[in-house]
Amino acid sequence: MKVFTFDLNEAKTSRLIVTVANVRPYYVRTPALIHVPGGGFMFCSESDTNALGGRLLGKGVGVICTYLYPVAKDYRFPQVVIDLMRCIRIVREHADEWGVDPAKIIISGNSAGAFICMTTGNLWDRPDLMEAAGCSGAEGRPDAMVLGFGPMFCGQQTDGDIVYVPNGELVGPQTPPAFFHHARLDTLVSVAQSIAMIEAFERAGRPFACCISSTGGHGATGSATRLFGENGTVGPCIDDWFENCWRFLCNQLGIDQLPQDMLPMMRAMAARAEGGAAPAAPAFAPPVVPPKGSVPVTPADMPLGRFGDLHMPFNAGFFDKDFTTYK
């Protein structure tokens, strides 16, 4: 494997970390994943990519990326969208080098990361954002999205104010296919957020699929293991929905699901082994340490965003209801 890091701004508060598992020569170009971690807009960690990224590696997705966006006082909208568009553009620009199919770039996000992905899927074709991201056409367009337990209708910090982003009203022909996953008992970000987005996709005639678990709290459907709920029930995890998600991605992106001849892969592995290079050891991310001065977000601090009142603030520090609506 090879790992590349790209700084997305001069302050180096926004980075793209790319892990290339494809081995030259590339017999088949593979899809690529760009994952956007959660963290209540207060922190994000590369380790959030592991659960979905590891499973997609097992399906033959040869490039797994993590977009680490600015957090806390450095977080800005729509800059986070512009930077994710830059991430997509970077992967497309290196498609030949990394063995990527440039028409099969998937973005995924959990919680706050799901919001950033959904908004990017809606706004990637805005001329001002395209210009800021260095795109002249569809270089910053995601081809599919996997969205977990996100606050889709959410207040956002701009350079000078706070705006409310009604993602459901922004869905249109430009919005890529999306797979949603959420737990019905989530008390931090209500499942109503995902259901409202599904309704918006249906109204716009855009492809979608979903998994809504009957049990589990915030983040449970993104977990690699199952957790006990307070009432003793066994919660969900990623294994409940991943295979359905993979079939959805294959159908939408035209990924061949038939059994593949392993000989080309074995030949590539043998060619690499001739150099005597040992395979890279897995990397384990350090524990997440929230930035100094950040405010932890708890269910008691935030509106639930339920039906009839989907609005959610940017974070626990912002309760202004008189937002300007982003259009």
Query: Which pair of structure tokens corresponds to residue 137?
Result: 């056409």
The answer to whether the bond into 173 is cis (omega within 30° of 0) is: no
Chain centre distance of CA 61: 15
Which of left, alpha, beta for 205 (phi over 0: left; psi -120 to 50: alpha)? left
Whole-number pLDDT of residue 282:
41
- Rounded to whole angstroms, the Cα distance separating 300 from 302 reads 6
Whole-number pLDDT of residue 274:
60
- Rounded to whole angstroms, the Cα distance separating 8 from 11 reads 9
Whole-number pLDDT of residue 307:
78
Whole-number pLDDT of residue 281:
40
92, 117, 101: which is closest to 62 by C-alpha? 101
- Local structure of residue 219 (DSSP, 8 states): T
Query: Which pair of structure tokens corresponds to residue 70?
Result: 């600015």
90, 69, 94: which is closest to 79 by C-alpha? 69
3-state DSSP call for residue 220? Answer: helix
- Local structure of residue 135 (DSSP, 8 states): -
Whole-number pLDDT of residue 84:
98
CATH code linked to domain 2-256+294-325: 3.40.50.1820
Whole-number pLDDT of residue 262:
47
- Rounded to whole angstroms, the Cα distance separating 51 from 57 reads 10
Classify burial at 147, counting beta carbons within 10 Å of its beta carbon; exposed 0-12, middle 13-18, buried 19 or more: buried
198, 174, 168: which is closest to 124 by C-alpha? 174
3-state DSSP call for residue 277? Answer: coil
Whole-number pLDDT of residue 74:
92
Provide CB contacts within 8 A for 20, sequence distance 6+. 1, 2, 3, 4, 62, 63, 98, 99
Classify burial at 282, counting beta carbons within 10 Å of its beta carbon; exposed 0-12, middle 13-18, buried 19 or more: exposed
Residues of the chain with pLDDT under 50: 259, 261-265, 267, 277-285
